Chain A
Amino acid sequence: MSVIQRHNIKLAGIGPATMVFAHGFGCDQNMWRFVAPAFEGGYRTVLFDHVGAGGSDLSAYDPQKYASLDGYADDVVELCRALDVRGGVFVGHSVSTMIGVLASKKAPELFDALVMVCPSPRYIDDADYEGGFSEAQVHELLDFLDSNHMGWSHAMAPVIMGNPDHPELGEELTNSFCRTDPEIAKSFARTTFLSDNRADLAGVTARCLVIQCSEDVIAPRSVGVYVHSNLRNSELVLIDATGHCPNLSAPEATIAAMKAFL
């Protein structure tokens, strides 16, 4: 299966440069539905699903490869090369901001600019670093996932990928914008919330935009400030929005910040 199919890649827009949108933990490329169209006029836009999410090829999921963010970054490099991306813009949300950092370090020629929406290089507090979660809280999350609760399965896998065991789960339960395989989501959560990419920030050469929400339980302000101050060439924009998804809750502000940066 080609990398295009593997990642359910959707291309749109016309422009000299390519803008690649990468979704974070929890959803798929739909996350960008209010933002990406705004750039189709000036860019070739690329939307894709990480392996294990949305319309990606689930059979390509390799627990070992995706146990670290490097595996996801390798995918980004691979798909960008397949699409002949050079000097483009990488727009990442949440954990994908760090995937973009890793990808741009692996292949600096791909991106001239990185847009980081609600980034976090480490979720767990560490000495002076305030990641937003105590180690106990992250383990509570992982334990909860490991309990493999049915309710979570229902919630996580609204379409359950055509799960034959649950044909009764009809459209009324279809949380169809956020398709994810519950087992893969568990692994992705583990990879995400145990990651620590603080040291990777230093080597980034591309220009960076850090978009930080004013009230975000997952990536608190202090984290945005940390990221910004550890990137050589970055700007920090604070959007007055609640939650972790300004691309959904405040798409206009997000688009404006991006356009201003670009």
Chain B
Amino acid sequence: MSGPQEADDLEDLFENAPCGYISALANGRISKANRTFSTWTGYGSEQLVGRRFLDLLNIAGKIYYETHFAPLLRMQGFFNEVALDLVCADGTTLPVLVNAVVRRDDTGGVRFIRVTVFNASDRRRYERELLEARRTAEQASIALQDLNATLEARVAERARALDRAWRLSRDLLVIARADGVLTQVNAAWTEQLGWQASDLVGQSFVAFTHPEDLAATQAAFAGIFEAPLTKPYEYRLRHADGSYRWFAWTGAFEEGEVYATGRQTTAEHEQAALLAEAEDALRQSQKMEAVGQLTGGLAHDFNNLLAAISGSLELMQTRLSQGRLNDLDRYMHAAQGASKRAAALTHRLLAFSRRQTLDPKPTDVNRLVAGMEELIRRTVGPSVHVETVGASGLWPALIDPPQLENALLNLCINARDAMPDGGRITIETANKWLDERTARERDLPPGQYLSLCVTDTGTGMPPDVISRVFDPFFTTKPAGQGTGLGLSMIYGFARQSGGQVRIYSEVGQGTTMCLYLPRHYGAVDAEEAPYALSTAPRTEQDGTVLIVDDEPTMRMLVTEVLEELGYTAIEAADSAAGLKVLQSNVPIDLLVTDVGLPGGMNGRQMADAARVTRPDLKVLFITGYAENAAVGNGLLEPGMHVLTKPFAMEALASRMKSLIKD
């Protein structure tokens, strides 16, 4: 290659190389720049010569060039791959990589400084992207670390909270293996059972279970594997002191272990035991009270009857001694009647014990009710209106009629007692078809029944009373006025007959008592047993005595005695009827009355009521029962006297005579 051609070639290479070439003098001023550099920067060669390289840099480049690269060049004679930004003629920035080397002559003097400039636009962009990616990655990493830290913190916080709950729980908490061996227990075990964790862990719960509860507890434990124990199961665990404590357990089986919680219920058990004891004691005292009532009631009834029997016998003796033999029949019948009623009384007692012999017959209940109506009216008194609503086409019932009569009467008496100020009694019959569901509710086999319902407009009963009305001896009546056996006997009769008794009651509204009676499939005999009511004979004599007693024999006997004495007797069977007479204009010299009376008032109350219009009315209470409270606790007002049954007719006669004469 010839010289000029070579020079041209080198010139071309210098000018058009793919990098910028600058030559600078020892003082740093540019002496030569190639075309490539001029093209990149937009400065013509003439604009570059004489300037310093650092004049082309941005401010950071100037400072770094001056503080770092210039010293380097001085010290080591070169620097390589320094990233700088050139500020071009048009104000734009050109990223470049710069190498520089000092060329020296043989004496070590600086000939020139060769600066090579590479266009680093692409590289700088990659770097920017790479830096951006690295920043993003670092941020993600930081975010991840934060998240991890947060999660760790949350997990730790949660673990702390769980630990706190475990530690602070007052209930026993336990984790056990499937074989029942305890693996973890909380501090409540020590507090509640006195065992340390080391006493428990590794032991089976069996070791601490009350022997009596063991089988059931093992069964309950086995059940946890089938389904979580959600309904608390109670058993006794042994305390470190040897005593036992009740705990109610719930638990579940998860991932091979049983998790359970036990709440101590010892106190509840002790309370329940105390309550049961108290209830027992209360029941006992109620029973004693009931026995007292029963005894009193029976004594009352029997004394009445005994008075009637002994009175009859006494009069028979008198008549025999007088030779008046034709009157004997009356007294004999009276004594026999009283004896029969005494027998009936024992029958009722047997009915209460459900040991009576029932004689069920096909019965037309409507007809039975109609036959009873007059008796019921008289029994409940004039202040109570009685209404009967017999269903037409009523099925016949298969029951013991006298017992049904007895039951109906009892229901009506209860109804009356619930209406001290009077009211209405409705007696209703109906056919009932009990389907499966209703029958189950009524505790009866499904099928056809009749209902006999007695509804009153009385005080009604609260639920706690309703629940107990069939209990034997339960009564709301004052002592001596009932045995408390009425409803119990009705219940016994109904159940024994294959029926049921239902109560619907609302306090202040009234009560409906319904007897469900089994249907008889077939016809009914036309037989009827009408009730005859005795009417007492009355005669005008020297004095007039009103005798009020629900025991007819008693009335008859007293009447006999009065007639013997030449007095006129007026009879009344209950307080209402008695008061009616007392409130009339009929002159009354003496009131002889039983204390325990039907008709809404006892004898004392009737007497007090009578004294409003007859302030001087003389009163003789005859009572078969020491109803001191009823009479006035022994503090009788003037003109009031008591004769206790049984008594000799003679004693009665002389007492009445002296009272009338006073």
Binding site for B on A (CB under 8 A): 24-27, 30-31, 33, 94, 133, 137, 140-141, 144-145, 148-152, 154-156, 172-173, 175-178, 180, 189, 193, 216-218, 242-245, 248-249
In the complex, A171→B58 CA distance in Å? 28
Q: Are B74 and A245 in contact, CB atoms less than 8 angstroms apart?
A: yes
Kindly list chain B residues whose C-beta atoms are within 8 Å of the C-beta of A155: 64, 68-69, 79, 81-83
Q: Are B80 and A172 in contact, CB atoms less than 8 angstroms apart?
A: yes
Interface centre among A94, A148, A152, A172, by most chain B C-beta atoms within 10 angstroms, is A152
Q: Are B130 and A150 in contact, CB atoms less than 8 angstroms apart?
A: yes
Least CB separation from B124: chain A residue = A151
Give per-residue flags for B46-87: 1 if the beta carbon is below 8 A from chain A beta carbons, else 0: 000000101000111011101111111011100111111000
Q: A-B contact count, CB below 8 Å?
A: 110
In the complex, A170→B97 CA distance in Å? 17
A151-B72 in contact given A173-B81, A175-B80 (Cβ < 8 Å) = no
Q: How far is the CB of B271 from chain A (nearest CB, A)?
A: 70
A137-B59 in contact given A176-B76, A177-B75, A248-B75 (Cβ < 8 Å) = yes
Q: Are A144 and B60 in contact, CB atoms less than 8 angstroms apart?
A: yes
Kindly list chain A residues whose C-beta atoms are within 8 Å of the C-beta of B62: 217
Contact among A33, A141, A172 for B60, CB-based, below 8 A: A141
Q: Are A140 and B130 in contact, CB atoms less than 8 angstroms apart?
A: no
Least CB separation from A142: chain B residue = B60
- Cβ of B147 under 8 Å from chain A: no
Interface centre among A155, A173, A193, A244, by most chain B C-beta atoms within 10 angstroms, is A155
Q: Are A151 and B120 in contact, CB atoms less than 8 angstroms apart?
A: yes
Q: Are B75 and A242 in contact, CB atoms less than 8 angstroms apart?
A: no
- Cβ of B534 under 8 Å from chain A: no
Considering only residues 1-32 of chain B, those with a C-beta below 8 Å from chain A are 27-28
Q: Are B131 and A244 in contact, CB atoms less than 8 angstroms apart?
A: no
Interface centre among B82, B124, B127, by most chain A C-beta atoms within 10 angstroms, is B82
Give per-residue flags for B119-133: 1 if the beta carbon is below 8 A from chain A beta carbons, else 0: 010011001001100
Least CB separation from B66: chain A residue = A244
A149-B80 in contact given A178-B68, A178-B72, A217-B62 (Cβ < 8 Å) = no
Kindly list chain A residues whose C-beta atoms are within 8 Å of the C-beta of B79: 155, 175
A175-B63 in contact given A150-B131, A243-B28 (Cβ < 8 Å) = no
Q: List 26 A-B contacts (CB under 8 A).
A: A26-B66, A26-B68, A26-B71, A27-B67, A27-B68, A133-B59, A140-B59, A149-B131, A150-B130, A150-B131, A152-B83, A155-B64, A155-B69, A155-B79, A155-B81, A155-B83, A156-B68, A180-B68, A216-B66, A217-B63, A217-B66, A242-B52, A243-B70, A245-B67, A248-B71, A248-B74
Kindly list chain B residues whose C-beta atoms are within 8 Å of the C-beta of A141: 59-60, 63
4 cross-chain pairs, A with B, having the tightest CB-CB distances, nearest first: A151-B83, A26-B67, A144-B60, A248-B74
Kindly list chain A residues whose C-beta atoms are within 8 Å of the C-beta of B64: 26, 152, 155-156
Kindly list chain B residues whose C-beta atoms are within 8 Å of the C-beta of A218: 63, 66-67
In the complex, A177→B95 CA distance in Å? 25
Kindly list chain A residues whose C-beta atoms are within 8 Å of the C-beta of B81: 151, 154-155, 173
8 other A-B residue contacts (CB within 8 Å) besides A26-B64, A151-B97, A175-B80 = A27-B68, A148-B131, A151-B123, A154-B83, A155-B81, A176-B76, A178-B68, A245-B70
Q: Are B28 and A242 in contact, CB atoms less than 8 angstroms apart?
A: yes
Q: Are B68 and A245 in contact, CB atoms less than 8 angstroms apart?
A: no
Kindly list chain B residues whose C-beta atoms are within 8 Å of the C-beta of A245: 66-67, 70-71, 74
Kindly list chain B residues whose C-beta atoms are within 8 Å of the C-beta of A248: 70-71, 74-75
Q: Are B58 and A140 in contact, CB atoms less than 8 angstroms apart?
A: yes
Q: Are B54 and A217 in contact, CB atoms less than 8 angstroms apart?
A: yes
Q: How far is the CB of B60 from chain A (nearest CB, A)?
A: 4
In the complex, A248→B120 CA distance in Å? 30
Tell me how many residues of B have a C-beta within 8 Å of chain A.
34
In the complex, A148→B68 CA distance in Å? 17
A94-B67 in contact given A154-B81, A176-B76 (Cβ < 8 Å) = yes
Kindly list chain B residues whose C-beta atoms are within 8 Å of the C-beta of A94: 67
Kindly list chain B residues whose C-beta atoms are within 8 Å of the C-beta of A149: 83, 124, 127, 131
In the complex, A100→B79 CA distance in Å? 30
In the complex, A54→B36 CA distance in Å? 37
Least CB separation from A150: chain B residue = B127
Least CB separation from A185: chain B residue = B68
Kindly list chain B residues whose C-beta atoms are within 8 Å of the C-beta of A33: 75
Q: Are B75 and A140 in contact, CB atoms less than 8 angstroms apart?
A: no
Kindly list chain A residues whose C-beta atoms are within 8 Å of the C-beta of B71: 26-27, 30-31, 177-178, 245, 248
In the complex, A155→B99 CA distance in Å? 11
In the complex, A173→B76 CA distance in Å? 12
Interface centre among B58, B68, B76, B83, by most chain A C-beta atoms within 10 angstroms, is B68
Least CB separation from A249: chain B residue = B74
Q: Are A242 and B67 in contact, CB atoms less than 8 angstroms apart?
A: no
In the complex, A199→B381 CA distance in Å? 125
In the complex, A243→B28 CA distance in Å? 9
Least CB separation from A177: chain B residue = B75
Kindly list chain A residues whose C-beta atoms are within 8 Å of the C-beta of B27: 242
In the complex, A178→B83 CA distance in Å? 15
Kindly list chain A residues whose C-beta atoms are within 8 Å of the C-beta of B59: 133, 137, 140-141, 144
Least CB separation from B96: chain A residue = A151
Kindly list chain B residues whose C-beta atoms are within 8 Å of the C-beta of A150: 83, 127, 130-131
Kindly list chain A residues whose C-beta atoms are within 8 Å of the C-beta of B97: 151
Kindly list chain A residues whose C-beta atoms are within 8 Å of the C-beta of B72: 175, 177-178
Q: How far is the CB of A132 from chain B (nearest CB, A)?
A: 10
In the complex, A30→B67 CA distance in Å? 13
Kindly list chain A residues whose C-beta atoms are within 8 Å of the C-beta of B124: 149, 151
In the complex, A245→B64 CA distance in Å? 12
Kindly list chain B residues whose C-beta atoms are within 8 Å of the C-beta of A156: 64, 68
In the complex, A24→B131 CA distance in Å? 29
Least CB separation from A30: chain B residue = B75
Q: How far is the CB of B98 from chain A (nearest CB, A)?
A: 9
Kindly list chain B residues whose C-beta atoms are within 8 Å of the C-beta of A175: 68-69, 72, 76, 79-80, 82
Considering only residues 585-614 of chain B, those with a C-beta below 8 Å from chain A are none
In the complex, A172→B79 CA distance in Å? 9
Kindly list chain B residues whose C-beta atoms are within 8 Å of the C-beta of A144: 58-60
Kindly list chain A residues whose C-beta atoms are within 8 Å of the C-beta of B130: 150
Q: How far is the CB of B368 from chain A (nearest CB, A)?
A: 113
Q: Are A140 and B67 in contact, CB atoms less than 8 angstroms apart?
A: no
Q: How far is the CB of A127 from chain B (nearest CB, A)?
A: 21
Kindly list chain A residues whose C-beta atoms are within 8 Å of the C-beta of B95: 151
Considering only residues 119-162 of chain B, those with a C-beta below 8 Å from chain A are 120, 123-124, 127, 130-131
Kindly list chain A residues whose C-beta atoms are within 8 Å of the C-beta of B83: 149-152, 154-155
Least CB separation from A152: chain B residue = B83
In the complex, A249→B73 CA distance in Å? 10
Q: How far is the CB of B402 from chain A (nearest CB, A)?
A: 114
Kindly list chain A residues whose C-beta atoms are within 8 Å of the C-beta of B75: 30, 33, 177-178, 248
In the complex, A177→B72 CA distance in Å? 6
Kindly list chain B residues whose C-beta atoms are within 8 Å of the C-beta of A24: 67
Kindly list chain A residues whose C-beta atoms are within 8 Å of the C-beta of B127: 149-151
Kindly list chain A residues whose C-beta atoms are within 8 Å of the C-beta of B58: 140, 144
Interface centre among B52, B66, B71, B131, by most chain A C-beta atoms within 10 angstroms, is B71
Kindly list chain B residues whose C-beta atoms are within 8 Å of the C-beta of A176: 76
Q: Are A173 and B80 in contact, CB atoms less than 8 angstroms apart?
A: yes
Least CB separation from A31: chain B residue = B71
Q: How far is the CB of A121 from chain B (nearest CB, A)?
A: 17
In the complex, A137→B61 CA distance in Å? 11
In the complex, A167→B54 CA distance in Å? 30
Least CB separation from B27: chain A residue = A242
Q: How far is the CB of B445 from chain A (nearest CB, A)?
A: 96
Q: Are B60 and A145 in contact, CB atoms less than 8 angstroms apart?
A: yes
